[in-house]
Amino acid sequence: MTEIHLDKLPLAGVRVLEFCSIAAGPFCGMLLSDMGAEVTKIEPPGGDALRAWPPISAGFSENFASLNRNKRSVVLDLKNPVDLATALALASEADVVVENNRPGVMDRLGLGWPQLTARNPALVYCSISAFGQSGPRSREGGFDLTIQAAAGVMSVTGDSEAPVKCGVPVSDFASGLYGAFSISSALVKARATGIGVHLDVPMFGCTLAIAALQTSEYFGTGRSPGKLGSAHPRNAPYEAFKASDGHIAIAAGNDSLWRSVLAAVGRPELADDPRFASPTLRAANQTALKEILETHFVHEPVAYWIEVFNRAGVPHSRINTYEQALADPQVTHMGCVQDLELPGGTRTRTFTSPVRINGQRIAMRSNPPSLGEHTAQVRDALLIRQRD
């Protein structure tokens, strides 16, 4: 599969200054860099805290590497007047600033939206924070766990009484996605009018926003949704079922697929059972339905049922580990797993952008930077531009 050239990427030429750490902000910056933006990551002297997160390979964090490809690293002590002046000069030239500090921190440093837009009126300034820039909880900090708890995700996750978070940090990455989408949209207007915007991206709000099905259920019924494990509140069979050697997930999302499942297990008469006459009734009686279906599933291995449901056209999947998921032939076809060289020469792999542009893959242009790798280069280039 061919790779798209940098000058063909939609954000080629866009200059982004990233004042971010850990996950939500760096993920936002990386998404912009994947689309061609030139992202300069400003780090404190100790570096982004994610650099210390394991697994560590030859002294370099693989977690950090996964969120910081295609970026330059510049170390600045923003409490030092000389370094602060460098940051201000870079911000004056930037198209975008992304920051994920607590509200008020950037203002106190002289790098807030009011200060920077006065110097650079076309600037798109994106603030990602736990609860937003205003309101009764705006001064609170937050990490993915606490935002999942606050936004209700943990109340509908798992199938036991114990609170369980989603295994993937959905609050961090949903916020990064909202940030990147909003920045890209705002750049269109800024380029056309010369007037930038301040984007307030609250992790709490983003996490509630992606829970549209759960919030609408509450609005419609007055009852908070509960835990269903892998099941669905409005349809069945739509969950994981036990086979003889593991589990298989089945998503029979309409009546036609429901009948296909019944044909596959040799129970077509269940279509006439009044308990299962509609998706709503099947969801209401899914415990009984699961017991019936699993008496058939447990007699054959997962591979057998995959063949059966492939022929029947019923959406399904084995419950993969990440090792299995990354070995899927579709991953090879997508070409998303690419080699990565960490500082120090250790080689690893990373999962890159899954997006294709006119059928072409978005290449990883540069490895994640070592701390301060580009500080001298960026300072020297800035001095030359200021002299000119």
C-alpha separations of 25 from 95, 260, 346 in Å: 16, 45, 26
Looking at the domain that runs over 3-210+355-387, which CATH code has it been given? 3.40.50.10540
Tokens 């998404």, residue?
31
Task: Give the pLDDT confidence of 76-95 residue by residue, as tens digits.
Answer: 999 999 999 999 999 999 99
In this predicted structure, the answer to whether residue 275 has a pLDDT above a threshold of 90 is yes
- Give the sign of the dihedral formed by CA 130, CA 135, CA 137, CA 139: positive
pLDDT of residue 1: 67
In the Cβ-directed half-sphere of 269, how many Cα atoms lie within 13 Å? 1
pLDDT of residue 265: 92
In this predicted structure, the answer to whether residue 20 has a pLDDT above a threshold of 90 is yes
- For residue 368, give the amino acid letter: P
Mean pLDDT over 237-257 rounds to 94
Tokens 């369980």, residue?
164
C-alpha separations of 58 from 206, 347, 348 in Å: 36, 10, 11
- Which residues pair with residue 126 across a beta bridge? 98, 199
Q: Residue-wise over 347-368: b if at least 16 C-beta within 10 A, else e?
A: ebebebbeeeeeeebbbbeebb
Does domain 238-326 bear CATH number 3.30.1540.10? yes
Residues 6+ apart with CB under 8 A from 10: 35, 36, 184, 357
Mean pLDDT over 241-265 rounds to 94
Mean pLDDT over 63-75 rounds to 97
Complete edge-to-edge strand list for the sheet that includes strand 124-129 = 71-75, 38-43, 15-19, 96-99, 124-129, 197-202
Mean pLDDT over 159-176 rounds to 94
How confident is residue 343, by pLDDT bands cut at 50, 70 and 90? confident
- Give the sign of the dihedral formed by CA 202, CA 203, CA 209, CA 214: negative
Q: Please indicate whether residue 43 or residue 383 has the higher confidence score (pLDDT).
A: 43
Using CB atoms within 10 A of its CB, is residue 162 exposed (0-12), middle (13-18) or buried (19+)? exposed
Whole-number mean pLDDT of the chain?
Answer: 95
How confident is residue 386, by pLDDT bands cut at 50, 70 and 90? confident
Task: Give the pLDDT confidence of 367-376 residue by residue, as tens digits.
Answer: 999 999 999 9
pLDDT of residue 269: 95
> Is residue 42 helix, strand or coil?
strand
pLDDT of residue 64: 96
Q: Where are the domains of the chain?
A: 3-210+355-387, 238-326
- 3-210+355-387 and 238-326 have identical folds: no
In this predicted structure, the answer to whether residue 388 has a pLDDT above a threshold of 80 is no
Mean pLDDT over 21-25 rounds to 97
Mean pLDDT over 294-311 rounds to 95
Structure tokens at 197: 């915007």
CB 39 within 8 A of CB 16: yes
pTM for this model (two decimals): 0.93
Proportion of the chain above pLDDT 70, given as a percent = 100
In this predicted structure, the answer to whether residue 53 has a pLDDT above a threshold of 90 is yes
Report the distance separating Cα 50 and Cα 285, nearest Å.
46
How confident is residue 217, by pLDDT bands cut at 50, 70 and 90? very high
Q: Please indicate whether residue 384 or residue 113 has the higher confidence score (pLDDT).
A: 113
Q: Which range among 86-90, 139-143, 329-333 has the greatest average pLDDT?
A: 86-90
Catalytic residue among 172, 272, 273, 388: 172
Is 172 catalytic? The answer is: yes
Q: Where are the beta strands (DSSP E) in 326-375?
A: 337-341, 347-351, 356-357, 360-362
Beta strands 56-57; 60-61: pairing state? antiparallel
Mean pLDDT over 192-211 rounds to 97
Report the distance separating Cα 246 and Cα 302, nearest Å.
6
In this predicted structure, the answer to whether residue 143 has a pLDDT above a threshold of 70 is yes
Task: Give the pLDDT confidence of 312-324 residue by residue, as tens digits.
Answer: 999 999 999 999 9
How confident is residue 387, by pLDDT bands cut at 50, 70 and 90? confident
